[in-house]
Amino acid sequence: MATLITQDGTEIHYKDWGSGQPIVFSHGWPLSSQAFEDQMFFLASNGFRCIAHDRRGHGRSSQPWQGNDMDTYADDLSELMQALDLKDAIHVGHSTGGGEVARYIGRHGTARVAKAVLIGAVPPLMVKTASNPGGTPIEAFDQIRANVLADRSQFWKDLSLPFYGYNRVGAKVSEGVRESFWLQGMAAGMPASYFCVKAFSETDLSEDLKKIDVPTLILHGDDDQIVPIADSALISAKLVKGAMLNVYKGAPHGMCTTRKDEVNADLLAFAKA
């Protein structure tokens, strides 16, 4: 993996595979770029240059106390785009990474962006507020923070079940996938594990979504137990002008893994369109 040093001295590690039009991936919490390897290998094998970074505090990147917020995540992505001089890029963001993509466009525009894909993404706003009555109560996120502090190793193991829909009757459980989730989670430092909860749950990305002026594809599972579809994709699809929404029936939050062949096919078709 290559390394970028940001303006505040944070090391951001990234993968850069293949050649062609760039596709830039932003992963979810508490994972790393490893979560997108199925998509990266497939798309790089089909004529695209695939770049994915470990967000600050996650994976192999350094673990600063500061900057675990959506603005800084977006600015780190911007620095990566500029350092590699990426143009006409297709941005793909899963979960928290979808928020990162939206905030990146909101803060830095689409001069370097050709298209955007939001997968199981957190926008526009996860937490329940007076203006977002369908959101998840703040107490649920407080409990996540408490679990991270109490025993995050066990919490990651427990979280892998609803993340991939493995707690559903008849689900085919992969212990390997669960172990990979745990391993990626444990690679994230405690500051990112804790502070990122506020970033992905309380950052209102509504205005960022309205600024997206490139073709946008929204993929979401209707059995997503982590980011419920009703308060995310269904609203985002109305806020992003001309967005295309593809609902995966029965799919969980971790659909890039459990439904990777379908996701890969949709990404390839959208990238080539």
Q: Which residues are catalytic?
A: 95, 224, 253
- Report the candidate in 64, 55, 35, 235 with the shortest Cα–Cα distance to residue 133: 235
Quote the tokens at residue 215. 């073709």
Cβ contacts of residue 161 below 8 Å, gap of 6+? 167, 178
Indicate the residue type of 231. D
Quote the tokens at residue 112. 């370097």
**Residues 206-245: b if buried by 16+ CB within 10 A, e if exposed:** bebbebbebbbbbbbbebbebbbbebbbbbbbebbeebeb
Separation between Cα atoms, residue 215 and residue 232, nearest integer Å = 18
Under 8 Å between Cβ of 192 and 68: yes
